[in-house]
Structure 1
């Protein structure tokens, strides 16, 4: 079951990772259009900045799990690489547990925020009047995926955490 969950999460993270890359490209195109419209044609848009911020929120928050999956999150190795391998493993286990707990907490708080937003039908305070649940959904989705990725890291690197012990001749999860 763990390997199935891991494969599903990897595929989902990859899809969202590529979508985040396309979102950043789209955001760049929108902002380029805004600059040209504003400074060349003296006709700024009313939507470019707001839509760019919403795209940015989704790309950064939803793409975080992919970044963690491929090991590209910022790490401060200057001190850690001087420790023994055993100490490094303890630190990685501890930081993964803390990351998982923090991400799970933010996910729950994000859902609480969404409930209030939906209850009061909150809209952006701009002429676009975008329902705020759309950009706010990026928070629980992104941190939920990040929580799942921390669980996968813990299960793959520390098999006793997931209850999946490596048997003789078995490939690592």
Structure 2
């Protein structure tokens, strides 16, 4: 599972860095065309906007995989040992329901509906832009499997430790 996590991490890191780099270049280009040449570029603004959507979706999935997302742990902190791991597993499952239901399924059907609609500035389908939502859902599904695997291994380690203490 750690190999799957590492590969997914590397892919999301590379895609995010690439998107951020393109966005940076395009924003500089946009500023130059607007203030130096007094001729603003509308296509670069659209690409940056869509790049930001993709960046937000992929970075959200990446942070979920790292388990570095914001969390209100006041409930989790009340538990110890196996109970704490069980609550963490339930929490991961609830996030999975969101990722599969909203991002994966809802995002897929939303992107499908938008495939026939063309962007007003760029010569691409709006569905191509919205495909970032189910793609992030797939990444979160992969991370869910990895996170649950880690939690199960931690639970097994606790059981083995209890047996050794007896």
Shift of 1:139: 0.4
The answer to whether the 8 Å contact 1:80/1:88 transfers is no
Partner Cα separation in structure 2 for residue 58 and residue 142 of structure 1: 9
The answer to whether the 8 Å contact 2:111/2:128 transfers is no
* 3-state secondary structure, aligned to 1:42: coil
* Residues 1:148 and 2:142 aligned together: yes
Under a length normalisation based on structure 2, what TM-score does the superposition of the two structures give?
0.80
Could you report, residue by residue, the CA deviation over 1:128-173 in whole angstroms, capped at 9, with x for unpaired residues? Answer: 2321121111000011211221122112212599xxx77x8xxxxx
Partner Cα separation in structure 2 for residue 127 and residue 60 of structure 1: 22
Shift of 1:91: 2.7
Structure 2 unmatched ranges of 5 or more:
161-166
Change (3 A) 1:160 1:108: farther
Change (3 A) 1:81 1:100: closer
Partner Cα separation in structure 2 for residue 72 and residue 48 of structure 1: 32
Aligned residues: 157
The answer to whether the 8 Å contact 1:93/1:154 transfers is yes
* 3-state secondary structure, aligned to 2:13: helix
* Residues 1:68 and 2:64 aligned together: yes
Change (3 A) 1:160 1:75: closer
The answer to whether the 8 Å contact 1:38/1:45 transfers is yes
Match of residue 98 from structure 1: 94
Match of residue 123 from structure 1: 118
* Residues 1:109 and 2:106 aligned together: yes
Partner Cα separation in structure 1 for residue 22 and residue 10 of structure 2: 18
Shift of 1:60: 1.6
Match of residue 79 from structure 2: 84
Structure 1 unmatched ranges of 5 or more:
169-173
The answer to whether the 8 Å contact 2:76/2:87 transfers is no
The answer to whether the 8 Å contact 1:13/1:63 transfers is no
Partner Cα separation in structure 1 for residue 146 and residue 72 of structure 2: 22
Under a length normalisation based on structure 1, what TM-score does the superposition of the two structures give?
0.77
